[in-house]
Structure 1
Amino acid sequence: MSVEEIFAFHEQEAGPVRFVESFGGWVVTRYSEVDRVLTEHAVFSSDELRYSDRPIPHGSNPLLRGLQAMDPPRHHVLRRIVSQVFTPRAVSSLEPSITEKVHTLLASAGETFDLIGEVAYPLSVHTIASLLGVQPSRWPDFVRWTEAITSFFGTFTADEARRIAFDQAVEEMGDYFREEFERPAGVIATLMASELTEDELIDFCALLLINGHETTKTLLVNAVLCLVARPKPADLRLAVEEVLRYLPPTGGTDRFVTRPTTLGGQELRPGQRVVAMITAANRDPEVFPDPQTFDPDRTPNPHLSFGHGIHFCLGAHLARLEARITLAALLARPWRIADLDTHRTPVGIDVLKATLVTR
């Protein structure tokens, strides 16, 4: 579904909550309803394996068993354990390493370079790998596993080639982390000192690996697309928040109805899928004045791009830090976009590849 189609849902008289057969569930676009879906975890669960009333071909996906797909009380226990990795102090301690990596990447870039391949991916993977305490030789596997796992969902589960790649990635990733548990370092060493089971450790490492570098990579590219043709923003913190609102790295997120409820005037039954369209909610005119305009000085900016409620993104502070450091370095140089190789992502945002060149 394209961005334009998402916004069309928001504007149609049918209302902000519509059942869309191609999605196999309810699409929610207005800010107030999206916020409710994200925060009322007792009614709108993240646990697809437990509550979905439809078959789940991608049921072995570790993300469906991890923290982001878990309800209380177990969610709260695990969140307290893993949140120590992302405290403000822990994230701040990574700033020197991230800054050094950004400047190294830009110094080695030629006159023309691929923003994703030469900057965004290496930086985000470097950061996550450093947290996990793994060697650079395995970074290409990180990218391959992520792409295979995240591309196997919805109607794509009928694609046999995707299924084979998905199964292989899940198996290889599990084997890899079990090897790391035998010589723990970084975050893995910290988490192994807790009472997490081996499966819980693998699921969290998978969540950190996949969401940690994929989201940050997309945020960096989106930020460049939003800012490169503009004067340098007065406050990069505000500018990054506006990028998150205007062109978020994630178009939406799923929840599953646990009991009969009403949402936006529609009756929802247990087991149904609800797609909370963050992209559309972030442009709700009832919350954001002139929502179709990119305003790097926008404040307040209560976007929902990192979620809300108990599943608010653990890595939000880290993603913001990486974006600010990279943008500061890029905007201090005379770069421009020379070419934009676009292709349609699952959420319909054509932003994934840009080439920068010296002016």
Structure 2
Amino acid sequence: MSLEEIFAFHRQDVGPVRYVEPIGGWVVTRYADVARVLTEHAVFSSDELRYSAQPVPHGSNPLLRSLSATDPPRHHALRRIVSQVFTPRAVSSLEPLVEAHVGALLAAAGPTFDLVGEVAGPLPVRTIAGLLGVEPVRWPDFVRWTEDITSFFGAFTADETRRTAFHAAVGEMRACFRAEIEQPTGVIATLARSGLTADEVLDFCALLLVNGHETTTTLLVNAVLCLADRPKPADLRPAVEEVLRYLPPTGGTDRFVTRPTTLGGQELQPGQRVVAMITAANRDPDVFADPHTFDPDRTANPHLSFGRGVHFCLGAHLARMQVRVALAALLDRPWRITGVDTRRSPVGVDVRKVALATNRRC
């Protein structure tokens, strides 16, 4: 798939709320409707295990018990505790470490390298491992655990190979993080002493590992795709925000109706699934001027890529910082894209490889 085809695939127009039989839920695309779904947690819950009227074959996934799948009031209590990991001061203190990781990864890359496998994938793994105090020997396991956990959902749970890999990954991951709870210092041990149960600490670590890894990796890859063949932006901050709007790391997110309600003129019933299409909402012409054009200098940019309301992404600042640091280093050296390997997914396009050619000049 070419860059033009990738961009075209994400060109989604907004429309009325509609029920889509193959996915068994209501698809929401208008900015105002998506924002409402993301904000009104009392009506549109993140707790699939509690509210879904349909069986949840991936119910053993630890992400379904984590902060992102918990509603207030318990959500507020959990978030107050774990948010200490992501204060602006804490994130800023990690920037020198991120710069060192980026430098080491680029130094190890050859004149032609795979952005996904050699830079964008390893970077958040190293950052999260450093944040949690996990030794480098575990870094490859972080990647494998993420892949095995995220590939186990819906109909894929019937695949015996995926099921075996999933349970092995969850077991290994929990054992690794449980050992960290017993340490006298470190983020995980601190959280365990801050009022969280051991299971809540482990579920938060799983959320941080899986979502933090995938979001940052995809955002960095998408930024490189969007900025290819363009002059280096004078300010990377609005450029990263425009990547988040134009080619977001997450195409959509699920919510579950808790009580009868009306959305976009449609009557929704308790237990029904609602798919909030962030990709489409980010291109709503009622909110964004010239929505299908990538503008790295766009200023008014209230995109929904990190969510809204109580579930606004806790690690948004960390993801932005990592991508900004990596982009600055990449854009300081001439490079060009020589190949892209993609795979279709239910809500977008997964970019599996991006071949870059560079002259390694620093």
- Provide TM-score, normalisation by structure 2: 0.94
Q: Which residue is equivalent to 1:82? A: 82
User: C-alpha displacement at 1:180, in angstroms?
Assistant: 2.0
Task: Name 2:223's counterpart in structure 1.
Answer: 223
Deviation at 1:141, TM superposition (A): 1.1
How far 1:130 sits from its partner (Å)? 0.4
Q: Do 2:182 and 2:189's aligned partners in 1 also have CA atoms closer than 8 Å?
A: no
1:159-178 superposed matches below 5 A: 159-178=159-178
- The residue type equivalent to 1:133 in the other structure is G
The residue that corresponds to 2:213 in the other structure is 213
Matched with 1:239 is 239
Match of 1:304 in 2: 304
Q: Which runs of 5+ in 2 are unaligned?
A: 1-5
What CA distance in whole angstroms lies between the structure 1 residues aligned with 2:224 and 2:7? 19
Aligned to 1:345: 345
Runs of 4 or more, structure 1, over 3 Å off, are 2-8
TM-aligned CA deviation for residue 347 of structure 1:
2.3
Supply the AA of the counterpart residue of 1:253: T
1:186 Cα deviation from its structure 2 partner = 2.9
Match of 2:109 in 1: 109
**Which residue number corresponds to residue 73 of structure 2?**
73
Q: Do the aligned residues in 2 keep the contact of 1:45 with 1:255 (CA within 8 Å)?
A: yes
Partner of 2:100: 100
Contact 2:212 2:315 in 1 (8 A): yes
Give the match's secondary structure for 1:254.
strand
Separation in 2 of the partners of 1:212 and 1:358?
Answer: 28
TM-score by structure 1 length?
Answer: 0.95
Letter in 1 for 2:174: G
Cα offset for 1:17?
0.9
Greater shift in the superposed pair: 163-172 or 119-128: 163-172
> How far apart are 1:319 and its partner, in Å?
0.4
Using the TM superposition, give the Cα deviation of residue 345 of structure 1 relative to its aligned residue in structure 2, in angstroms. Answer: 3.4
Distance 1:297 1:3 in 2: 18
**1:315 aligned to 2:318?**
no
Structure 1 residues 48 and 104: CA distance shift in structure 2, 3 A? same
User: What is the alpha-carbon distance in structure 2 between the residues aligned to residue 295 and residue 96 of structure 1?
Assistant: 29
Indicate the residue corresponding to 2:200 in structure 1.
200
Structure 1 pair 4–105 and aligned structure 2 pair: CA distance change class (3 A): closer
Corresponding residue for residue 265 of structure 1: 265
Paired with 1:24 and 1:184, the residues of 2 have a C-alpha distance of 47
Partner in structure 2 of residue 254 of structure 1: 254
Q: How far apart in 1 are the matches of 2:219 and 2:185? A: 28
Could you tell me how far 1:282 is from its partner in structure 2? Answer: 0.5
CA–CA separation in structure 2 for the residues paired with 1:111 and 1:3: 27
2-side partners of 1:142 and 1:346: how far apart?
24
- The residue identity in structure 1 corresponding to 2:231 is P
Match of 1:120 in 2: 120
- For residues 258-297 of structure 1, the aligned pairs below 5 Å read 258-297=258-297
Indicate the RMSD between aligned Cα atoms, in angstroms: 1.6
SS of aligned partner of 1:291: coil
Tell me how far 1:348 sits from its aligned partner: 2.1
| 1:185-235 Cα distance to aligned partner (Å, 9 max, x none) | 432122122110011011001001111111101111000000021111121
| Distance across 1 between alignment mates of 2:38 and 2:169 | 29
Q: Give the % identical residues.
A: 75
Amino acid at match of 1:357: A
Contact 2:11 2:292 survives alignment (8 Å): no
Alignment length (residue pairs): 354
User: Is 2:312 the counterpart of 1:334?
Assistant: no
- Give the whole-Å Cα distance in 2 for the aligned partners of 1:229 and 1:346: 29
Q: Tell me which amino acid in the other structure corresponds to 1:271.
A: G
1:3–1:349 Cα contact (<8 Å) kept: no
How many Å separate the matches in 1 of 2:211 and 2:51? 23
In 2: Cα distance, 1:345 partner to 1:5 partner: 11
Kindly indicate whether the alpha-carbon contact (under 8 Å) linking 1:3 and 1:347 is maintained by their aligned counterparts in 2: no
Matches within 5 A, 1:21-36: 21-36=21-36
1:125–1:213 contact (8 Å) kept in structure 2: yes
What per-residue deviation string (whole Å, max 9, x for no partner) do you get for residues 48-71 of structure 1?
A: 010000101110111000100001
| Contact in 1 for aligned 2:220/2:323 (Cα 8 Å) | yes
SS state at 2:336 partner: strand
Aligned counterparts of 1:131 and 1:256: Cα–Cα separation in 2? 32
> What displacement does 1:155 show?
2.4
Alpha carbons 2:239, 2:297 under 8 Å: kept: yes
The Cα of 1:5 is off from its aligned counterpart by: 7.5
Q: Is the 8 A contact 1:283 1:291 kept in 2?
A: yes
